[in-house]
Chain A
């Protein structure tokens, strides 16, 4: 039982490049989330998916797109990376209904 897995663990991009962050969970959770963590800012919600087939914007969605590929997988895409997107990205999943989300190990992204 791996929980929430994220790939890659680290990534360096140049401004304007694109990439997709992958997330998968094996807990049969309905809801999945993408957060970013910046120094002094805590974690901020980028996008979430309450259930398979649905996605919705969070607090900081600009510059990102998401795809809920199936119940297990939720990807985050940066179409044209900017230095302001340098951050640590965490994927999380939850059963919903009052259950705390479980977080993955994070992806450390640097945009030069």
Chain B
């Protein structure tokens, strides 16, 4: 069983809708949680990171972590076609380079 589970999608939404993404994990030692965006044939780029439980907001993006349920979420408000990409969750216990990634969810925002 993978340590980090993520639905691969694809997830198709109309422009302006809220995109809801999530990951579940099994390792209770994870305490740093990240979301990366990856455009086709590009490297991942960091969108959001959260330490331990709680919420974090940055513009149209909100990240939530519920350590008691081992569940993290990313919400994208007012989605745009430029948000069409694969979104990867990642997490680690104490070392940012040794990340455990989910498989990634492909998001398609249609005009």
Contacts and interface: CB of A to CB of B under 8 A. Distances in A.
Interface residues of A, number: 26
Given A41-B103, A42-B101, A42-B104, A96 B44 contact: no
Contacts of A45: 97-99
B109 interface: no
Contacts of B32: 98
Interface of A: 4, 31-33, 40-45, 48, 50, 58, 90, 92, 94, 96, 98-106
B63 interface: no
A111 B90 CA distance: 28
A92 B42 CA distance: 13
Interface residues of B, number: 22
B93 to A, nearest CB: 13
B101 A92 contact: no
B21 interface: no
Interface in B42-79: 42-46, 49
